[in-house]
Structure 1
Amino acid sequence: MTEYLLFPGRHHVLTRFQAEYLTRTARSLDGATVIWAVTSANHHTTKRNPVPFDRREAAIERLSVETGLRSLVIGVTDTPPTDDFADVTVKAIEAGTDDQVQLDPANTVVACSTPEVAKLYERLGYTVLGVEPPEQPRPWDVLLMIAAGNDEWRELAHPATVDVFDRYHLDAHVRRCVNDPVVGDDGGLTTTRDYKTYADAFETAADRKWLQIKDFVRPGRILDIGCATGATLQLVDADPRFHESDLIGVEVARHLYAECVHKKEQGRFGNPNVYFYQRNMLGSTVFPARSIDTTLTLALTHEIWSYADGSRPATVQRFVDALFAHTAPGGVWVNSDVCGPAEPDRAVVLELDDSDGANSGPAELETLVDPAAYVGGLSTRARFFQFAQDFRRNAKVPFAYTERDGRLVLRLADAMDFLTRKDYVDNWLSETHEQFCGLTFAGWREIAETAGFTVDPASKAWRNDWVIEHRIAPVAAIRTEAGESLDWPDTHQLLVARRP
């Protein structure tokens, strides 16, 4: 006897057609229980999976009550593409019901309209029934209508979905996620970023950055944009001055946001008023006007510049304008990040060591099994040519240079973009999307003042002498075209901007 009708899918949107189909099919199977296997249940706020699992589950339960379906809703963790997908889903259902539900081809029929997925269940012996015919809009088609602002989606979606979307304003959420020009399908800035390496780096650097900025932080509502793993907010939390403050973290990358939530669940914060949002601050207004006392942006603004859609100066200005709008009178924006040298267009001669590694030509790294090993094995000079190739393509910026008697002549800003990134081999393809030296400190200051901020006298450009001494100077030198040695320029900025 068929006990179960297994209906796998992401189920962001439920349609009227699905409700009618499932009701009719379950009735023909003598009232079989519909098992909604909600895949990618651990994903949300991404292009591929915009709607959180709990909202999807709420709509399914509401539909089940309205139609009289007997349903079980089981979340299935996202998995990379695999031929074992059907088996993984069946085992997830067993685990999700404490092994009380055991599916097999004798007691279960599968409802699925995706041919590739259907074949995986058929291979296990299950009977598979098609759901939507080719002419019928599928749930993802309806979701794309929502993203496009087409209100006809309300006629195709089941009232349960319409109700949940309206109550939780999910239509705006879907539009923001699907149309986001920066974030990829799975909630990352690039598909090549190793988030474990990034997380470790943020944890290590948090103490140093906090010492630099802590005297400028104002109690009240404290917002950390690009909060990464929440390490800086942990230090704010530990400071007695801020025990009664609200601590708010915003992180766009799904992997890092998950770590923030995990820390909160572990009790790593003493302050109960700690909140995390997964959001791209470029997408829309997040916080009410004049509601934030301190905004922190640490190692973030160069990413706003680098991943901007269209005009980079205009996008950065729009971002800073939004910061000013949500800053309370007397509030402060503290920005600690990289910046370009004060004379970005100055022509310099760059001398690079060619004895500290292989001198192979630039490779197509995407075709290699281990790009990091290849780049890490190159000499500093060979790594320059690899950077030039990848930086032009990924960051989509000019990177001009000429060779004169084996010496490289180029803009000072371009030389520093290479030198400050040359050792980031673990995330090379991701790092070459970013431009550290796109704006000088004076440029960042001008943007803050244009937004309406008053720049505190403590603001400054500064040079990371540790990086110069240990990473750059041993393998590189910069000179004038006449051959005179040049001092290394500033590499970082501290910008403290106050709203009058």
Structure 2
Amino acid sequence: MYLLFPGRHHVLTRFQAAFLKGQDRTVVWAVTSANHHTTKRNPVPYHRREAAIERFSLQTGLRSLVIGVTDTPPTDDFADVTIKAIEAGTDDQVQLDPANTVVACSTPEVAKLYEQLGYQVIDVEPPGESRPWDVLLMIAEGNDEWRELAHPSTVDVFDRYALDAHIRRCVNDPVVGDDGGLTTTRDYKTYADAFETAADRKWLQIKDFVRPGRILDIGCATGATLQLVDADPRFHESDLIGVEVARHLYAECVHKKEQGLFHNPNVYFYQRNMLGSAVFPPRSIDTTLTLALTHEIWSYADGSRAATVQRFADALYAHTAPGGVWVNSDVCGPAEPERPVVLTLDDSDGANPDVVTELEALQDPAAYVAGLSTRARFFQFAHDFRRNARVPFAYAERDGKLVLRLADAMDFLTRKDYVDNWLSETHEQFCGLNFDGWSAVAKQAGFTIDPASKPWRNDWVIIHRIAPVAAIATATGDPIDWPDTHQLLIARR
């Protein structure tokens, strides 16, 4: 009765049409990773895949059922999970079993899982035949020969919705990982909680600079700031636009909108990477917000960091309407980044192992880092920061103290307590540019710096997290005051 055809089905091929020609069984398309899109592994949204399959079925005369299957971690129960998802997706009207179903599958590991359940499995793509993923990679490479291999139903849907450009952007993205995250080690729940907690404080700092109209929040995280914009009567007639690259955070934004947490009907979310590229039409945005974002643009740059942040600022200027504003609130480096300092760190508040550890090999790297003394964390940070952030981070030891650049000292001190996301955080450089450096980038793009712009110091962090376990001084031992740690940059067009 049924031919079960599991797969991601981003691309349908002419070979598949020839294979399925004359099929008198109902083809059950189990579209896996249906909840994923805009990632390297799953660039095409499920609803576009479903549309192509339905057109494919109509053009080939197949009777089909298309069922979305939520992505699951690798599991030996994959086949069973898929069968149950089909039952749930058809309200138990379709009950697949080895007596009424043949499985079409060309992935040996997956085929084996169905065979273990008693299903007969037939191979779809023989060796030497271009498989759907091969065709998708041709699209990513800009090779137009994909059009000769893909079925016309896929070509039609891709052309109408510009999915070939979308695939190239996703697959070739230098920053986003296979599953739509900036790093594979990032704990997005911790990040989401932090953004929610900080939203009120950040909104109080920036709200007087926001101009009504089209308001864009780049790196909007969970959408918490846009919720506060939404609640402000001044912006009831504004369009609120959130852009978030991380799939996990973007999903939370969409979930909030579906729950009715926004009163303004003109709220839109996009999952995109704006690293050095324009997304919106020229002069179309009245306010752009970048909160805790620009250090990531710097840190994850593909190539020259300076060139990447300048392209980013240039793109913001291009899409800013005359009279519009870019509000940038973020961390930044000290005014004198190259100043040599002597750093003293507490070594009595945790363990002091003789060597640094490769954290990726540990079951619980967060617990290990949390158990280190402040001084031991410095050496672990230096090891991880150099390779992950691709920075020199040079230092010398002298009489039990550390001699290094002030910017490097602050990069460690402002991150030393981020143990839950240590490996992810060590990809990022907080002190790559200071306030003057970021101001220069904005000016070169064409912006005028508002007098309200300023660097500032987070005294709570200094008092509670840094000063109790660390001290900085000159080479002669004179204490140095703690430098600025953050910036508020108001750039107007």
SS of residue paired to 2:204: helix
For 1:415-494, what aligned pairs fall within 5 Å after superposition? 415-494=409-488
Contact 1:421–1:431 under 8 Å retained in 2: yes
Post-superposition Cα deviations, 1:304-324, rounded to whole Å, max 9, x if no partner, equal 000001000000000110000
2:388 to 389, 394, 397: 394
Provide the rounded CA distance (Å) in 2 between the counterparts of 1:245 and 1:308. Answer: 32
- After TM superposition, which residue ranges in structure 1, 4 or more long, deviate above 2 angstroms? 282-285
1:240 to 218, 233, 238: 233
1:286, distance to aligned residue in structure 2 (A): 1.3
Provide the rounded CA distance (Å) in 2 between the counterparts of 1:347 and 1:8. Answer: 60
SS of residue paired to 2:21: helix
Provide the rounded CA distance (Å) in 1 between the counterparts of 2:38 and 2:462. Answer: 39
1:15 to 13, 18, 32: 13
For 1:140, the equivalent position in structure 2 comes to 133
1:19, distance to aligned residue in structure 2 (A): 1.2
Answer yes or no: is 1:342 the counterpart of 2:335. yes
Answer yes or no: is 1:301 the counterpart of 2:294. yes
1:22, distance to aligned residue in structure 2 (A): 1.4
Instruction: Give the superposed CA RMSD.
Output: 0.6
2:64 to 44, 64, 71: 71
1:249 to 242, 253, 277: 242
TM-score by length of 2: 0.99
Post-superposition Cα deviations, 1:75-105, rounded to whole Å, max 9, x if no partner, equal 0000111111111101110111111111110
For 1:39-118, what aligned pairs fall within 5 Å after superposition? 39-118=32-111
Answer yes or no: is 1:377 the counterpart of 2:371. yes
Deviation larger for 352-361 or 283-292: 283-292
SS of residue paired to 1:342: coil
Provide the rounded CA distance (Å) in 1 between the counterparts of 2:288 and 2:20. Answer: 49
2:163 to 166, 170, 173: 170
Provide the rounded CA distance (Å) in 1 between the counterparts of 2:278 and 2:131. Answer: 31
Provide the rounded CA distance (Å) in 2 between the counterparts of 1:142 and 1:151. Answer: 10
For 1:240-279, what aligned pairs fall within 5 Å after superposition? 240-279=233-272
1:285, distance to aligned residue in structure 2 (A): 2.7
1:312 to 302, 305, 322: 305
Q: AA paired with 2:138?
A: M
Provide the rounded CA distance (Å) in 1 between the counterparts of 2:458 and 2:117. Answer: 59
Contact 1:339–1:438 under 8 Å retained in 2: yes
Provide the rounded CA distance (Å) in 2 between the counterparts of 1:286 and 1:449. Answer: 21
For 1:197, the equivalent position in structure 2 comes to 190
Provide the rounded CA distance (Å) in 1 between the counterparts of 2:133 and 2:366. Answer: 37
SS of residue paired to 2:489: strand
1:403 to 397, 400, 421: 397
1:359, distance to aligned residue in structure 2 (A): 0.8
Answer yes or no: is 1:366 the counterpart of 2:341. no
For 1:22-37, what aligned pairs fall within 5 Å after superposition? 22-24=20-22, 26=23, 31-37=24-30
For 2:348, the equivalent position in structure 1 comes to 355
For 1:228, the equivalent position in structure 2 comes to 221
Provide the rounded CA distance (Å) in 1 between the counterparts of 2:483 and 2:275. Answer: 31
For 1:187, the equivalent position in structure 2 comes to 180
Contact 1:292–1:326 under 8 Å retained in 2: yes
SS of residue paired to 2:410: helix
Q: AA paired with 1:431?
A: E
Q: AA paired with 1:339?
A: C
Q: AA paired with 1:140?
A: W
Q: AA paired with 2:232?
A: D
Contact 1:331–1:498 under 8 Å retained in 2: yes
SS of residue paired to 1:415: helix
SS of residue paired to 1:5: strand
Provide the rounded CA distance (Å) in 1 between the counterparts of 2:293 and 2:278. Answer: 18
Provide the rounded CA distance (Å) in 1 between the counterparts of 2:417 and 2:229. Answer: 31
Q: Are the structure 2 counterparts of residues 283 and 96 from structure 1 closer, same or farther at C-alpha, using a change threshold of 3 Å?
A: farther
Structure 1 gap segments, 5+ residues each? none
1:284, distance to aligned residue in structure 2 (A): 4.0
1:23, distance to aligned residue in structure 2 (A): 2.1
Contact 1:176–1:283 under 8 Å retained in 2: no
Q: Are the structure 2 counterparts of residues 438 and 273 from structure 1 closer, same or farther at C-alpha, using a change threshold of 3 Å?
A: same
Provide the rounded CA distance (Å) in 1 between the counterparts of 2:299 and 2:279. Answer: 21
Contact 1:180–1:283 under 8 Å retained in 2: no
SS of residue paired to 2:279: coil
Provide the rounded CA distance (Å) in 2 between the counterparts of 1:242 and 1:491. Answer: 31
SS of residue paired to 2:309: helix
Q: AA paired with 1:319?
A: F
Contact 2:474–2:480 under 8 Å retained in 1: yes
Provide the rounded CA distance (Å) in 2 between the counterparts of 1:22 and 1:380. Answer: 64
Post-superposition Cα deviations, 1:228-256, rounded to whole Å, max 9, x if no partner, equal 00000000000000000000000000000
Q: AA paired with 1:407?
A: K
Post-superposition Cα deviations, 1:214-238, rounded to whole Å, max 9, x if no partner, equal 0000000000000000000000000
SS of residue paired to 1:296: strand
Provide the rounded CA distance (Å) in 1 between the counterparts of 2:358 and 2:60. Answer: 55
How many correspondences in the alignment?
492
Answer yes or no: is 1:5 the counterpart of 2:6. no
Contact 2:277–2:311 under 8 Å retained in 1: no
Provide the rounded CA distance (Å) in 2 between the counterparts of 1:450 and 1:128. Answer: 62
Provide the rounded CA distance (Å) in 1 between the counterparts of 2:193 and 2:230. Answer: 20
For 1:120, the equivalent position in structure 2 comes to 113
Post-superposition Cα deviations, 1:95-119, rounded to whole Å, max 9, x if no partner, equal 1111111111000000011111111
Q: AA paired with 1:456?
A: D
Post-superposition Cα deviations, 1:123-145, rounded to whole Å, max 9, x if no partner, equal 11100000111111000110011
Provide the rounded CA distance (Å) in 2 between the counterparts of 1:285 and 1:438. Answer: 23
Contact 1:225–1:250 under 8 Å retained in 2: yes
Identical positions, percent = 87
Provide the rounded CA distance (Å) in 1 between the counterparts of 2:298 and 2:275. Answer: 11
SS of residue paired to 1:439: coil
SS of residue paired to 1:48: coil
Provide the rounded CA distance (Å) in 2 between the counterparts of 1:290 and 1:159. Answer: 38
Q: AA paired with 1:487?
A: D
Q: AA paired with 2:19?
A: Y
Structure 2 gap segments, 5+ residues each? none
SS of residue paired to 2:341: strand
Contact 2:278–2:316 under 8 Å retained in 1: no
